[in-house]
Amino acid sequence: MNKAKPYEISKRLVYDAYKQVKANGGADGIDRQSIEDFERDLKGNLYKVWNRMSSGSYFPPAVLGVKIPKSDGGERLLGIPTVADRIAQTVVKLTVEPTMEPYFHEDSYGYRPNKSATDAIGVARKRCWRYDWVIDLDIKGFFDHLDHNLAMKAVRKHVKESWAILYIERWLKAPMQQGESLINRDLGTPQGGVISPLLANLFLHYAFDEWMRRNHPNIPFERYADDVVLHCKSEKQAQFIKDRVAKRLMQCGLELHPRKTRIVYCQDDDRRQSYPINEFDFLGYTFRKRGCRTKAGKLFVGFSPAVSDKAKKEIRKTIRGWRIHLWSGATLRSIAKEINPVVRGWINYYGEYYRSELRFSLQQIDAYLIRWVKTKYKRLRGRQVKAARTVRQLSQQAPELFAHWKAGFAR
């Protein structure tokens, strides 16, 4: 007779979690096991996850610490779980997220169903027209300083499944492997974990969102994970709110970055006050005064978002890294098939507002295609003008071939 498991977790839920992890991809954890390796004994490996979680004996392995460069020259430390652990975390996420989601603030946009970064940018855009001042909020090392006790207090308030509470606490305490060192953690939740964004949203729901709703309901904001923009009527109000938020976050074990948190004046045709800071970056977009056109065709200077210089630099860096001009064995169609998904993603995201700002960066693709045809065809070697004309003619004859051609960004 089979003894019942202490916790009721369905095998179907574990399988659904595996499918989601497979779809999302991701790097290997400390065991260096890839999704493909895991699938060599899929049934057995999924059974192990289910069996251990159902019996209460699942203990997450250490996450693999990986440093990646940040656009400002610093480094961001990611914590990469193993494939099995990502599946286990997804089991919990699928269970608890639906019960948490209705409580979250309408202006919290990060890692939530049916909300996106472009939604946040669109709302911020409209509010910048109505409010003259912005607080560009930067929480210093948020994911590294999340207080475990406060996080678990919020978890227990919303999560009814005792097994989910048990495993969330274990994930918070799981060590990190960096090189030869195993680092125990009593603060933070690793960026890279499946459960981390949900815990971050829950923590900031109480540390910031709900506190703002109770104490400053007249101050609108947009929050995407730990990126926050607040809107104020005056510089004096902005300074007051900034100081109040700083004190609130200190109560929750967090602090504002003293250099990156700034008060910004939304300067445009109708707002001409002199102020040293009149632009800010949010989710890969720069908000600043720009030449705009009304629906009737009238030109004016408005305060609007467009792809940021940092994002454009990263786009060009990626294009350079493809080294298309060296793909001599490829065809135009195979090149397009390889790069179009990435280029389409750039256009869909960064082209949402002030699309023309993408033009120069995306036309770098054609610069490499010109070099490619010069390498590919002997008759075009050393003939820059003719090679450029060839690529231009191709973009006119087959505009659907490359995503940036289809979007109107041919050189």
305-323 residue pLDDT tens: 999 999 999 999 999 999 9
Kind of pairing between the strands at 280-282 and 299-307: unpaired
User: What gap in Å lies between CA 209 and CA 90, rounded to an integer?
Assistant: 25
User: What gap in Å lies between CA 178 and CA 77, rounded to an integer?
Assistant: 10
Tell me which residue has tokens 């997220």: 97
Supply angle C-alpha 22, 31, 46, rounded to 5. 45
Tell me if residue 58 falls in helix, strand or coil.
coil
**Residues lower than pLDDT 70 in the chain:** 1-3, 71-73
User: What gap in Å lies between CA 352 and CA 342, rounded to an integer?
Assistant: 16
Nearest alpha carbon to residue 13 among 117, 107, 94 = 94
Cβ proximity of 142 and 317 under 8 Å: no
Give the other-Cβ count within 10 Å of 123's Cβ.
Answer: 18
User: What gap in Å lies between CA 65 and CA 78, rounded to an integer?
Assistant: 6
User: What gap in Å lies between CA 401 and CA 409, rounded to an integer?
Assistant: 12
Q: Which two tokens stand for residue 34?
A: 């890839």
Side chain identity, residue 147: D
Quote the DSSP letter at residue 68. E
Residue 350: in which H helix or E strand, if any?
helix 332-350
What confidence score (pLDDT) does residue 247 get? 98
What confidence score (pLDDT) does residue 190 get? 87
Supply angle C-alpha 252, 197, 317, rounded to 5. 115
What confidence score (pLDDT) does residue 2 get? 53
Nearest alpha carbon to residue 65 among 166, 144, 149 = 144
